[in-house]
Amino acid sequence: MARFYVTTPIYYVNDVPHVGSAYTTVNADGLARWHRLLGDDTFFLTGTDEHGLKIQRAADENGLTPQEQADQTSERFKEAWKLLDISYDDFIRTTEPRHRVAVQQLLQEIYDNGDIELETYEGPYCVSCEGYYAESDLIDGVLCPIHLRPVETLSEENYFFKLSRYEQPLLDWYAAHPDFVQPDSKRNEAIGLIKGGLRDISITRTSLDWGVPVPWADGHVFYVWYDALINYATAVGYGSEPERFEQWWPHVHHLIGKDILRFHCVYWPAMLLSAGIEPLPHINVHGFLLVGGEKISKSGQKLTAITPAELVDEFGVDPLRYHLLRHTPLGADGEFSFEAITERYNADLANNLGNLLSRVATVVGSKCDGVGPAPSPASPLAAVAAEVYGAVAAAWDAISPSDALDATWRLIRETNAALEAAEPWKADPGPEVDAVLGDALEVLRIVSILASPALPTAPAEVWRRIGLPGRPAEQRLPHAAEWGGYPGRLPVEKGPPLFPRKK
RNA sequence: GGCGGCGUAGCUCAGUUGGUCAGAGCACACGGCUCAUAAUCGUGUUGUCGUCGGUUCGAGUCCGACCGCCGCUACCA
């Protein structure tokens, strides 16, 4: 059986969910749902990243323990994903014991291979921040950029990962695996980073204890990023269930935003190579959603601080998900706006899909006594449906949800045109009217399945209204997309508009 | 500064290895229809494919320069 393992980044719990994290997560969810339709054994992972100085500091400010701080914010992510109907199979938290075990084992592996060495780190340190700065970040070369107080030079013994040894191995892997990092523009960026030269990286800290302890050295904890990356391995059994890990790891796909490209496309693969874990994951890098050209942020003004919950209130879960998947192709940055989501909603959901259901249900009511007829095997729409299925499958395979939805809506448009040509509402009841209405019902059946990865709710309602038992998400492709699946002689219910027009 | 990315119709974007590549959807205009959520169907307008050169029989599609925008340069998708 085919397997598919998809991950989102684990979100850092110093922030609450915003539209950007929703964007990544909804895309991952769409992919997971698509693969479940294919009947693949699918594993969808998301979670939260909970170690590090920022968390410890936030906890101190709030009078909480770091764990309590992490518990609270982690819960916010779970709530957000519930609201968005995110069908994750596992929600990992880096403070869980299973993760500690995996981190210690993986990094011990690297240590044993000789790729981790103790070195002295020396640099400008701000006591108030309890952290080091790069010389270039200092104000006037001597002041902490946050506290505007003089920094002092401190040195600390840290363990370093010998990343510099992996320049060539990484370049070799990139050369041998053209689809390692997608899209190509991001792949080139990653290769550029590597060719620019890799420095060894500090992976432990002694100045704080909110982290995974280094097994071979008391007083050291792993630096948050190197513990975080390992979550993808932890969740499928690294360190605890070797056979499970072997099964899933070859099928892993990471979805990430461009801000963490360096970590995922350079550091993480190098760590895996060092630990002897192959193959390397597939990585798909997407851009940012911008509001008015600006990056979304929780601290921005009202527009950029828009939350997923507000959008769900305004548009509903399905329309928000549809817009996120359809509007901004994975890869480059995209613009997010109320105008755009409203346009999408009206044009695609209300006018095309929703209205198709309405008009078909009405005519079935008047010409067929409300009993849906079967489609005709020779319908011209059968060929369109077959073509569309091919395009949809290819698009999901290429991790292009927007193309998959675009193709699906082509079928809806063709069906509206076919109805227009046949004008069943003018004709007398009979085989010809039955055929064209049956075809339209068949399209609604197929579209319900093909749209279900994006829309978790509405397609099930379409399915029910055209009299089908079960749910679209329970169907199995490609068989379920073959023309002729609508059996006919089923009660068709009109019901209220599926997506009432906005404004 | 270094490295990298982007610039195609009003908007969001497609455009494999150079030769119906000047496109799709939305928006807009006109016409049709009235089953349908003022929905739908048909037709159509807009672009010197950032600029200037070059390679070529032929270039959004390759090369160079330039202009504009942006990203990364060690911890926010």
The amino acid at residue A307 is T
Gap between the Cα atoms of A299 and A307, Å rounded: 11
CA–C1' nearest nucleotide, residue A347: B26
What is the predicted pLDDT for the residue at A291?
66
- Could you tell me the distance in Å between the CA of residue A433 and the C1' of nucleotide B31? 27
CA–C1' nearest nucleotide, residue A359: B36
pLDDT for A444-469, tens place per residue? 999 999 999 999 999 999 999 999 99
Per-run averaged pLDDT (10 residues), chain A, 503 residues: 92 82 91 96 94 84 89 92 96 94 93 90 68 64 66 79 89 84 80 82 84 90 88 94 96 88 90 91 82 56 68 91 84 76 90 95 94 94 91 87 89 93 92 94 96 95 96 95 95 94 85
CA–C1' nearest nucleotide, residue A289: B77
Gap between the Cα atoms of A168 and A225, Å rounded: 23
Q: ∠A332-A408-A477 over CA atoms, to 5°?
A: 105
**Residues ≥6 apart with Cβ < 8 Å to A183:** A284, A285, A330, A331
What is the predicted pLDDT for the residue at A297?
53
**Residues ≥6 apart with Cβ < 8 Å to A384:** A410, A411, A414
Neighbours of A119 (CB within 10 A): 14
Neighbours of A312 (CB within 10 A): 19
- Can you state the percent helix, strand and coil of chain A, rounding each to 5? 50, 15, 35
- Could you tell me the distance in Å between the CA of residue A421 and the C1' of nucleotide B42? 11
Q: ∠A120-A122-A127 over CA atoms, to 5°?
A: 125
- ipTM above 0.90 for this complex: no
CA–C1' nearest nucleotide, residue A351: B39
- What residue is closest to B11 (Cα–C1')? A340
- Could you tell me the distance in Å between the CA of residue A406 and the C1' of nucleotide B35? 26
Q: Which nucleotides in chain B have some atom under 7 angstroms from a protein Cβ?
A: 2-6, 11-14, 25-27, 32-42, 70-77
Gap between the Cα atoms of A237 and A188, Å rounded: 32
- Could you tell me the distance in Å between the CA of residue A54 and the C1' of nucleotide B74? 16
CA–C1' nearest nucleotide, residue A261: B72
- Could you tell me the distance in Å between the CA of residue A194 and the C1' of nucleotide B2? 14
What is the predicted pLDDT for the residue at A363?
96
- What residue is closest to B6 (Cα–C1')? A332
What is the predicted pLDDT for the residue at A269?
93
- Could you tell me the distance in Å between the CA of residue A168 and the C1' of nucleotide B62? 29
Nearest to A328 by CA among A420, A280, A400: A400
What is the predicted pLDDT for the residue at A135?
63
What is the predicted pLDDT for the residue at A167?
87
